[in-house]
Amino acid sequence: MRLIGDVKDLQQLSCTGKCRFPQAVFHAAAFKHVPLMEEHNEAQALRNNALDTYNAALAAAEVGAERFVLISTDKGVNPTSITGATKRAAEMVVSALAAGNAATRFTAVRFGKVLGSSGSVIPKFKEQIGKGGPVTVTHPDVTRYFMTIPEAALLVLQAASIGESGQVLLLDMGDPTRIVDLAKALIRLAGHTNGEICIELTGLRAGEKLYEELLADGDTTLSTAVVRLSVALLQSQVCGLDVLNWVQQMSSGNAVENSARKHLRALVPEFRDTALAS
């Protein structure tokens, strides 16, 4: 049975859980378009990415799910965007709920881009090449971590199996790839030379980084029984009760609409808000 719903609707999530009694819940619902979230959509990003993670996790705990897994992102490390800050906030929410819900094991899994997934750069490049170009790249030095859909799915399942409650797990993404090199490779694979299909540099967009990180400065990792999985040992920690109080504050009245950026900076101290410099 396939059911549709809205992570903003806690009552619906709870009712669905009580009808289905899931053993494991994998929470991947999020707004992830970085520039779009920077442009007048901060409140919606905070609500959908952070507060609704609380709803989904709470509903999972209420029905006694054995595991709850948040699909997180490398954008949450030293975030410079609303997307990254809200995903880091979601990780903090999951860790905070772990302390008071022993029956459910709460974990977050952090990784980079998945090739071929919704919003992936490869379909975009293929479309641009098919039209004769140009292929648009933001910056010649921009790099990203990539993995395939089967790799990501397998490692998420393994993380759900071995992760302890409250942990953030990292997937080994290998070495980062320069986006401009990826564009050149796709041009060659399509049977063109770089001269036939030009690459146009458009500049970094709002909130975007030159490179992503899987760990912040000072953070370390602990190896696990799974070769490509490790546990993040995070230096920047906020008291779980403070996180849950923040959620309650954001859920009341118009708190989210009134300066979402300010509220995110209050919860996520490592948030390097690029809007402050503009």
Supply the residues annotated as catalytic: 75
Give whole-number Cα distances, 200 to 45, 142, 183, in Å: 30, 14, 11
The C-alpha atoms of residue 169 and residue 108 are separated, in whole angstroms, by 6
Burial class (CB in 10 A: 0-12, 13-18, 19+), 239: exposed
Contact of 115 with 149, CB cutoff 8 Å: yes
The C-alpha atoms of residue 263 and residue 261 are separated, in whole angstroms, by 5
Contact of 97 with 58, CB cutoff 8 Å: yes
**Cα 268 off chain centre by:** 15
The C-alpha atoms of residue 130 and residue 64 are separated, in whole angstroms, by 50
The C-alpha atoms of residue 51 and residue 127 are separated, in whole angstroms, by 35
Strand 177-178 vs strand 143-144: parallel, antiparallel, or unpaired? antiparallel
In 3D, which of 66, 70, 63 has the Cα closest to residue 96?
Answer: 70
